[in-house]
Amino acid sequence: MPILTIASFKGGPGKTTLCQIIASHCAAIGLRIAVIDADPTKAMSDWHKSTYEGAAFTCVHEISERRIADLALDLDQINDLVLIDTAGFGNLAGAVAMTVADNILVPLTAGAADLNQAEETIKQAKGLASAARRQIEVRAIMNRLSRTNLTKHAEVELRSAGIPTLTSTISHRTAFGEISYSGVLPTKGPGADEVQALIAELTKIGWIPSNAPGLNQVEPS
């Protein structure tokens, strides 16, 4: 089953938020989900332990570059999807998390610095895939999107830089910003529609297994 690592060279583009969105939605549709929180800040695992209120999934904090790969492969045996949330700076644990992945998601927000970090993260992923002599798919995703000129500029730049990017985007919304302390995801409205579209696209490209009992039927709780 797929291992999906969420990575970025720069802090703060939305790795943990995307991990929370994907893990909770996939758990809500009946997939067995395991998350490895490979960030020393423990943002994902603390949230899972103390704040999250949705459908159950496994979340383990592991920052040792020596243990992450084996842990991911073990969790992969007993889950439908393993997600790895990495730290917002390049470290060896992050590189191992990228190398063990089948797929890497690189969030970015509008702006030259983020575009640059996405390019660098993608180059890093390609280098690691070559070193490991295996195929690792990489896609960027636009997060905190707002309908400004800057955003439109970033979309054009992404295309011209040849960065493979998901069609679905996640907007800048209070409902997403609140996840970190409310523990709940938007279940209706435009935010929920964006999450549905993202899950549908990830399922279509095979990054999320398509055997979920409740795929397209159950709203995330």
Ligand X SMILES: Nc1ncnc2c1ncn2[C@@H]1O[C@H](COP(=O)(O)OP(=O)(O)OP(=O)(O)O)[C@@H](O)[C@H]1O
Tell whether residue 170 is a contact of ligand X (CB under 6 A). Answer: yes
206: left (phi over 0), alpha (psi -120 to 50) or beta: left
Q: How far is the CB of 85 from Mg ion (least distance, A)?
A: 6
SS3 annotation, the chain: CCEEEECCCCCCCCHHHHHHHHHHHHHHCCCCEEEEECCCCCHHHHHHHHCCCCCCCEEEECCCCCCHHHHHHHHHHCCCEEEEECCCCCCHHHHHHHHHCCEEEEEECCCHHHHHHHHHHHHHHHHHHHHHCCCCEEEEEECCECCCHHHHHHHHHHHHCCCCECCCCCECCHHHHCHHHHCCCCCCCHHHHHHHHHHHHHHHCCCCCCCCCCCCCCCCC
Q: How far is the CB of 98 from ligand X (least distance, A)?
A: 15
Residue 187: φ, ψ to 5°: -105, -15
- What is the longest distance spanned by two Cα atoms in the chain? 45
Tell whether residue 39 is a contact of ligand X (CB under 6 A). Answer: yes
State which of positions 177-196 bind ligand X (CB under 6 A).
177, 180
Binding residue (CB under 6 A) for ligand X from 25, 48, 139, 144? 144
17 interface partner picked from ligand X, Mg ion, none, CB below 5 to 8 A per type? ligand X
Nearest to 126 by CA among 205, 203, 118, 14: 118
Q: Which is nearer to ligand X, 12 or 209 (CB)?
A: 12
Binding residue (CB under 6 A) for ligand X from 4, 7, 13, 68? 13
Q: How far is the CB of 143 from ligand X (least distance, A)?
A: 5
Q: How far is the CB of 179 from Mg ion (least distance, A)?
A: 12
Q: Which is nearer to ligand X, 32 or 90 (CB)?
A: 90
Q: Which is nearer to Mg ion, 15 or 144 (CB)?
A: 15
Q: How far is the CB of 213 from ligand X (least distance, A)?
A: 28
Binding residue (CB under 5 A) for Mg ion from 8, 16, 99, 103? 16
Residue nearest to ligand X (CB): 88
Size of residue set near ligand X by CB under 6 A: 19
State which of positions 38-97 bind Mg ion (CB under 5 A).
43
Please report, as ranges, the residues that interact with ligand X according to CB under 6 A.
8, 11-17, 39, 43, 88, 143-144, 170, 172-173, 176-177, 180
Please report, as ranges, the residues that interact with Mg ion according to CB under 5 A.
15-16, 43
